[in-house]
Structure 1
Amino acid sequence: MKAGKGRVKAFKGPAGGWGSLRSVAEIVARERLGPAALAQLPRQNKAEGFACVSCAWPKPAHPHPAEFCEEGAKATAWELTSLRTTPAFFQKHTLSELRGWRDYDLEQHGRLTHPLRYNADSDKYEAVSWEDAFRDIGAVLRAMDAKSVVFYSSGRTSLEASYMYGLMARMYGNQNLPDSSNMCHESTSVGLKAAIGVPVGTTRLDDFEHCDALFFFGQNTGSNSPRMLHDLRTCRKRGVEVVTFNPLRERGLERFTDPQNPLEMSTLGETDISTQYHQLKAGGDIAAMTGIAKFLLQWDDDAALKCEPEVLDHAFLKQHTVGFADFAAMVRATSWEVVEQESGLPRHAIEQAAGVYARAKAVMGIYGMGLTQHVKGVDNVRMLVNLLLLRGNIGRPGAGPMPVRGHSNVQGQRTVGITEKTELVPIDRLERQYGFTAPREKGLDTVESCRGVIDGSVKAFVALGGNFLRAVPETAAMEAAWPGLDLSVQIATKLNRNHLFSGKTTYLLPCLGRIERDVQASGPQAVSVEDSTSCIHGSRGKVAPASEHLLSEPAIVAGIATQVVPPNPRIDWDAWVSDYSLIRDAIEETYPDVFKDYNARLFTPGGFWKGNKASERIWQTSTGKAEFLTPTSQNATGFADAAHRYRLMTLRSNDQFNTTIYGYHDRFRGVKGTRDVLFMNSQDIAAAGLRAGQTVALESDADDGVKRRRTDLIVTPYAIPRGCLGAYYPEANVLIPVEHHAEESHVPAAKSVPVRIVA
């Protein structure tokens, strides 16, 4: 089917395989990588190499010869591109003109080379010295109410820079420290913390060697964390069952050809990944898990009557949990009619999944934003914990929750203090360590920062990486309000859409990438990141920087800090920049239990683990036990179904990472040359009187009276449940109200947005 300028044609191949190799070859050519850049790929995710700048999947102690995936190779090529965006480029283009460019074209133009200041008279960026930039930024910030300033950070930022950034914000006078986790896994942090006492997953990479069943919820492995496919392939080869719950059929959870296996590549061999694949409705996960629990309780009751082995782990429940009786009462009281209606799955399908769970000795619950980005996202996470607790599947080898993080250090940032929540930071220790009085009130998270930008209470926004305006909901209102800021500072490697919206004073500051050589006064430096499984890895870049005018992230943070933070004899920002090991010493002093012997363990193969009390069955909850927390609804969307109302899921393509668009080829979904696609169930297309290839618009169907619209979408038949739609992120963010977010965690509810179709 032809679709406008693009093409949509069903893809029949596996994940990985020759398609993956062709995709990598295409981006290498497009970014015009030279031999020095290509030589970095073998160093990717190796103990003495660099940590991938893409996802946070663990780096194994015994890596493959090529320990990178298609998406990781794209991220490396994107950073090491030979293309450049110099001051001369900005002399040719106004920001007003550039706002008409596509996201892809902005970033594809190449690496930023000079610090830039916006000139409102010419509507252009102009080169400026680092000294003048820091001095001016400092002068504006010193004159402002500290509570009106937001310090945002991207999940790619290193532990060292993140620690400095959080410390600077608190010494300046606020905890307005939103980051990428506010938009994705904050529901995990809130949900797991309440249920099992830790805000992160309990499993590690070697748990794949001990599990006998994997339950997936809302996680697209093939596009978002492809290196996991090696672990899934190994599990399947030894008979591990993989049960998947996901609204769309994603190729990475169906079939995989290992590009590093010569036999599979030469024979076009494949490994089937999921043994069961259940396409539930968007927002139907709680109901599906309630159905599994209903079967487990029924079978346990039957076993007791027949004096057969129990199905539930009653010894574990008695010793380690509270709240089971209330949870079980809810499960028994929920009718099968409700379970089937809200999940979109028939009873027999849920019974098949429950049978696998009941037979398995060790189950891992693996999930992504398909659980977290709903109004009831926190309940989704807690419900998965409930399911795991029923059979003691937390705190033993091969079992436990495994949230799969996106950005390569988004979890680590929280570990070293990037958070708006006082209770997550050792404030007393920081005050003793640095001799200052830290703020104690809660700071602004992402949703609250958006509210503040829109209503004018946020006066300045400093961004350590990221593409905030493109990533957040309420796109139109946010872009309209951004020029009202007194100060906008963006630290970045490439031009993105956020940079095209200026405040009254605006700076664009280019930084070194992680793969580039970082030489300071004491010599070459290394940084560190934390992966999804709480393991910490060193990372050392070796490629020549894109420009001699770039500064490292720690150097830029220090340059701002020296201008806005009063002199303090207990902290020497310049010394920290000269030698990053001093930053790690400071981190170890603040977090001695996590970072003991930090510098000595920096390049431990496989990383060093920061520990996890719940994995030891030590529950740091208010009751001292793991807690069953009963969900408040079987529908996670937060809104009721209505005539002509659909549940929109925002999706990433195979050719992007978060807001970074590498190209216009979503290979696994058969889309090429366009991102203006609306995935629909064929029966919904017919019922709505539409036809494949027709162009339509989506409008927000939220009950707030605000008109939000995404136009020129191509109706595309796809294997998706009835009543559900799919469209690409971030372009579809324009349809998400800022107040449509997860309860408690404030994560934008981007996986179930109420919309209607306008033909």
Structure 2
Amino acid sequence: MTDRKQTHQRDDLPHYDQPSGGWGSLSSVARHMGQDHPSPGVIDTLRRQNKPGGHMCTSCAWTKPPNPHVAEFCENGAKATIWDLTRDRCGPDFFARHTVSELRGWPDYELEIQGRLTHPMRYDPASDKYVEATWDEAFEGIGATLREIRAKNPKSVVFYASGRASLETSYLYALLARLYGNNNLPDSSNMCHETTSVGLKKVTGSPVGTCVLSDFDHCDMIIFMGQNTGTNSPRFLHPLRAAKKRGCKIVTFNPVREAGLVTFRDPQNPVEMLAGKETVISDRYLQLKPGSDVAVLAGLCKRVFEIDDEQGGGVIDRQFVAQHTSGWPAFEAAIRATEWAEIERITGLRRDDIAEVGEMYCNSDKVIGIYGMGLTQHVHGSLNIAMYVNLLLMRGNIGREGAGISPVRGHSNVQGQRTVGISEKPELVPLDRIDEMFGFESPRDTGTTTIEAVQGVLDGSVRGFVGLGGNFARAIPDQGRTDPAWQKLDLNVQIATKLNRSHTLVGREAWLLPCLVRAEMDMQATGPQAVSMEDSLSMIHGSQGRREPASKMLRSEPFIVAGIAKATLDPNPKVKWDDWVGDYALIRDLIEATYPDKFERFNDRLFQPGGFHKGNPARERQWQTETGRAIFTAPDTLSALGQAPDAQSYTLVTVRSNDQFNTTIYGFHDRLRGLETDRQVVMMNPEMIARAGLREGQEVTLCCAVEDGETREVGGLRVIAYDLPDDTVLAYYPETNPLVPLGYHDRLSKTPAYKGVPVRIRGLSRRISRHW
């Protein structure tokens, strides 16, 4: 175990020496205003963003308050809107100048900065170029091929959905897939928070978190695990700042010291901005080794038992445990048998530091547990979540005001898509009700997850792919190995706003269908339309765009889904695509009829300030689990890693930069880590660099250390010294996705283990022996 201090920034290494927010955030937005060529209406759009009657930001899924700030957007939300409303255009003239083979070699950033797609495009194999098409030609061609594939095997088409699509679009898309004949509805959740949907549901009965925004006004302590608020959900910093000012304690566990959870300066507070004042966010910041969350949570639970023993009871809420939980005896036995020395070895933390946090937890009446993909994207990610729930259940911290478990989602509607039927699991969807409403029999077999969809592309069992947004081919694991297989598909349809790498991996037939962004006006037969989405806290919000569309040829996502459906499926008098596209309120009526317990008076409440809550049984202590109670889990391992580092390997954690949203790269300023880089880097602590016989700036190749007969490498990475725990290397997503094996995923959810990949550094001149 290292003696390196775990709670203080190493000033000799790259870091951001300013608080998150503040002038740095404002200057970043100003820079993107200058370089991304936004349309003149972008300021008015930002003014209305995330407010009742305005458009809901596409950057993240953090909730929208009922009483919004003057500017209810963050740095990354502004970047996303500026990016969407660029004046640059990527039209037929661009595609006439470039072959698809040429574009396939372009970096991700260069593809997207070409601007907004303007026309439907068809891939022409003879010229190896995309050529302009009409919407009628696109729907007719796509429908004909989908019918051909369906006649052979309807299970061989995948309908993928990115988390940005609205509830209305998602409902129609799920209906399209089931009318076509399958439940092949993977979405971006499969790659990030599916572990939440599966793991949390198993132990609490709810696939989502239990908190609402007002809980942050009443909590005494917040624990963060594996979540980077400053980059991924900066508006969350406002309720954190308010909680700190009223005395709430905040503790963070994360292998990487992220600036957003260190200090924050509110850009909307003139006193803080002019006087240089800031709020310290984390009272304790412990940099544990990646994949050791199970162990540190076991340590916190162990300390609760110790304090309860020392005080003769009263610390553990035994009345709650007896009334509302199951599995307690096995859990208690496992935790009491766990040795502190093993916890220290796995986490790299001192017992005293973990025990101190355990004491803070015991002294806090109401506690909220926050987590992100640092917990979900592991081989034992579901166990991470179960252990977190264990800790909260011990003191009754689920199902009451000011307490609960709260995952923070990424995509702005990824949680909502699951709510309205985008799911490969038929048992999660009211199929009997859907069949009755639309007069057909839905398929009952389980569809494909993202992992299974990719496997199908590799082995040829997937013949058609329809992508509703996103950059699927770049976001997936084993990306380098899968690229050639996409070209063997019979059909690849991509609904998108900008060009990305997935669009260059054409099949025998490929179509590129440009759609509106959320900030643009959606005019249909009955007038301008609104859409809706669900945030991380299960609140439903309406969204209405006002900007003029980037091209007269753009169409809305519901229009495109309906167009494909009409061209593919047989007519059905109960399936009224044209009526629904003409008036989205009718789609919301369908959603309400399908899910009456969640969407009562949907249209009436569409623009309710702060949104309306869809409800959560676990929040009411109604446990829809196999035991009818919340479930304690006895850990069968103390590591979430599938393969721990050995004498010659390390654990790779893939991360996003401050100038990035998922696979979209806005620029090369990772400001909150103190880096400006081309992203082809690997970060290690200086002691590890020296022990490995490397030097800063040296180019190395990372090699996957999973032995499965495949070779996976990413080369040309420059070594950067950075403040990280031992055994840890840090590199960017999606550049290092080729190192993540398709089969290396969470045991229950099949979420890829992007946060805990075993890797080696190729080219070392000697065997590395590490004993510390």
Residue in structure 2 matched with residue 216 of structure 1 by the alignment: 224
Give the aligned residue type for 1:198. S
Measured after TM superposition, the shift of residue 672 of structure 1 is 1.1
Measured after TM superposition, the shift of residue 641 of structure 1 is 2.6
Measured after TM superposition, the shift of residue 10 of structure 1 is 3.6
Measured after TM superposition, the shift of residue 631 of structure 1 is 2.3
Equivalent residue for 1:63, pick from 39, 63, 68: 68
Equivalent residue for 1:559, pick from 557, 563, 569: 563
Matched, 1:245 2:249: no
Equivalent residue for 2:426, pick from 410, 422, 429: 422
Matched, 1:331 2:328: no
For residues 592-649 of structure 1, the C-alpha deviation after alignment (integer angstroms, 9 at most, x for no partner) is 1111110000000000000011111111112111111222210101113311110000
Which range moved further: 656-665 or 558-567? 558-567
Percent of residue pairs bearing the same amino acid type: 57
Measured after TM superposition, the shift of residue 9 of structure 1 is 4.8
Give the aligned residue type for 1:383. M
Matched, 1:25 2:33: no
- Matched ranges for 1:147-546 at <5 A: 147-304=155-312, 310-546=314-550
Equivalent residue for 1:622, pick from 615, 620, 626: 626
Give the aligned residue type for 2:648. H
Residue in structure 1 matched with residue 115 of structure 2 by the alignment: 110
Which range moved further: 551-560 or 634-643? 634-643
| 2:644–2:651 CA contact under 8 A, matched in 1 | no
Matched, 1:12 2:17: yes
Unaligned runs of 5+ in 1: 1-7
1:756 partner SS: strand
Measured after TM superposition, the shift of residue 542 of structure 1 is 0.2
Equivalent residue for 2:690, pick from 686, 694, 700: 686
Q: Distance in 2 between matches of 1:430 and 1:133?
A: 29
Unaligned runs of 5+ in 2: 1-12, 764-772
Give the aligned residue type for 2:105. G
Residue in structure 1 matched with residue 585 of structure 2 by the alignment: 581
Give the aligned residue type for 2:263. R
Give the aligned residue type for 1:404. V
1:491 partner SS: strand
1:35 partner SS: coil
Matched, 1:35 2:35: no
- Matched ranges for 1:78-157 at <5 A: 78-144=83-149, 145-157=153-165
Residue in structure 1 matched with residue 10 of structure 2 by the alignment: none
1:584 partner SS: helix
For residues 395-422 of structure 1, the C-alpha deviation after alignment (integer angstroms, 9 at most, x for no partner) is 1111010000000000000000000001
TM (norm. structure 2) is 0.96
Measured after TM superposition, the shift of residue 191 of structure 1 is 1.0
Q: Distance in 2 between matches of 1:610 and 1:164?
A: 20
Q: Distance in 2 between matches of 1:447 and 1:68?
A: 34
- Matched ranges for 1:40-51 at <5 A: 40-51=45-56
Which range moved further: 475-484 or 525-534? 475-484
Measured after TM superposition, the shift of residue 694 of structure 1 is 1.2
Measured after TM superposition, the shift of residue 682 of structure 1 is 1.1
Q: Distance in 2 between matches of 1:437 and 1:564?
A: 17
Give the aligned residue type for 2:102. E
Q: Distance in 2 between matches of 1:660 and 1:41?
A: 20
Q: Distance in 1 between matches of 2:191 and 2:105?
A: 26
Q: Distance in 1 between matches of 2:464 and 2:104?
A: 21
Equivalent residue for 1:669, pick from 646, 669, 673: 673
Residue in structure 2 matched with residue 704 of structure 1 by the alignment: 708
Measured after TM superposition, the shift of residue 35 of structure 1 is 2.9
| 2:225–2:252 CA contact under 8 A, matched in 1 | yes
Q: Distance in 1 between matches of 2:366 and 2:644?
A: 36
Measured after TM superposition, the shift of residue 267 of structure 1 is 1.4
Measured after TM superposition, the shift of residue 673 of structure 1 is 3.8
What is the number of equivalent residue pairs in this alignment?
748
Measured after TM superposition, the shift of residue 11 of structure 1 is 2.5
Measured after TM superposition, the shift of residue 376 of structure 1 is 0.2
2:336 partner SS: helix
1:514 partner SS: coil
Q: Distance in 2 between matches of 1:320 and 1:673?
A: 51
Q: Distance in 2 between matches of 1:517 and 1:352?
A: 53
| 2:199–2:748 CA contact under 8 A, matched in 1 | no
Q: Distance in 2 between matches of 1:425 and 1:268?
A: 52
Measured after TM superposition, the shift of residue 33 of structure 1 is 2.0
Equivalent residue for 2:724, pick from 720, 724, 745: 720
Give the aligned residue type for 1:629. T
Residue in structure 2 matched with residue 5 of structure 1 by the alignment: none
| 2:39–2:85 CA contact under 8 A, matched in 1 | no
Q: Distance in 2 between matches of 1:440 and 1:197?
A: 22
Measured after TM superposition, the shift of residue 344 of structure 1 is 1.6
2:311 partner SS: helix
Matched, 1:656 2:660: yes
Measured after TM superposition, the shift of residue 236 of structure 1 is 0.8
Q: Distance in 1 between matches of 2:521 and 2:628?
A: 47
Label 1:650 to 1:621 Cα distance change in 2 as closer, same or farther (>3 A).
same
Q: Distance in 1 between matches of 2:317 and 2:677?
A: 52
1:227 partner SS: helix
Residue in structure 1 matched with residue 766 of structure 2 by the alignment: none
Q: Distance in 2 between matches of 1:693 and 1:603?
A: 52
Q: Distance in 2 between matches of 1:16 and 1:37?
A: 21
1:440 partner SS: coil
Residue in structure 2 matched with residue 3 of structure 1 by the alignment: none
Residue in structure 2 matched with residue 4 of structure 1 by the alignment: none
Give the aligned residue type for 2:165. T
Which range moved further: 580-589 or 333-342? 333-342
Q: Distance in 1 between matches of 2:697 and 2:332?
A: 48
Equivalent residue for 1:645, pick from 632, 638, 649: 649
Give the aligned residue type for 2:699. T
Q: Distance in 1 between matches of 2:746 and 2:106?
A: 32
1:544 partner SS: coil
For residues 314-342 of structure 1, the C-alpha deviation after alignment (integer angstroms, 9 at most, x for no partner) is 11001111111100100011111211111
For residues 359-410 of structure 1, the C-alpha deviation after alignment (integer angstroms, 9 at most, x for no partner) is 0000000000000000000110111001100000001111010000000000
Residue in structure 2 matched with residue 603 of structure 1 by the alignment: 607
Give the aligned residue type for 2:436. R
Measured after TM superposition, the shift of residue 476 of structure 1 is 1.4
For residues 478-529 of structure 1, the C-alpha deviation after alignment (integer angstroms, 9 at most, x for no partner) is 1011001000000000000000110000000000111000000100000000
For residues 439-486 of structure 1, the C-alpha deviation after alignment (integer angstroms, 9 at most, x for no partner) is 000000000001100011111100000100000001112101100100
Q: Distance in 2 between matches of 1:440 and 1:725?
A: 43
